[in-house]
Amino acid sequence: MLSQTAAYAMRAMGYIAAHEDSSPVLARTIATEMKIPQNYLSKIVNRLVHAGLLRSIRGTGGGFFLAKDAKDIHFIDVASLFMDSSDFNTCFLGLHECDKSCKLHDRWAPIGEQALKLLKETTIDQLM
């Protein structure tokens, strides 16, 4: 349900959170361990830094670390940088204007609502 970029961002954030007690984590290490293409990861972490979710240190001993406590970063904070969270409330058939008349609407709507609730209520520390 997450976009590929949002999923990569979640994996990176989880990895950084799991290694927070050590020194800042190198992008190369995250890319290797999380199986994320390094060029793609650099764009992702750049956006996370600009959003205030990660901090970075350049040079020897540098890398990335969380800008806040992992329990204060919700999945929605990360995912919404890379996808539109309203996608969970869209038509199952991908129609731009859902008239709620298809027989799947009543079955799909609660699933989308639960997915959105999961993103809003779950924090990065729960990934570890």
Q: d(Cα 50, Cα 82) in Å, to the nearest integer?
A: 13
The per-residue pLDDT for range 50-109, each reduced to its tens digit, is 999 999 999 888 899 999 999 999 999 999 999 987 777 777 777 777 787 888 888 888
Residue 1 is predicted with a pLDDT of 75
Domains and CATH numbers, the chain: 4-126 (1.10.10.10)
The per-residue pLDDT for range 22-50, each reduced to its tens digit, is 789 999 999 999 999 999 999 999 999 99
The pTM assigned to this predicted structure is 0.88
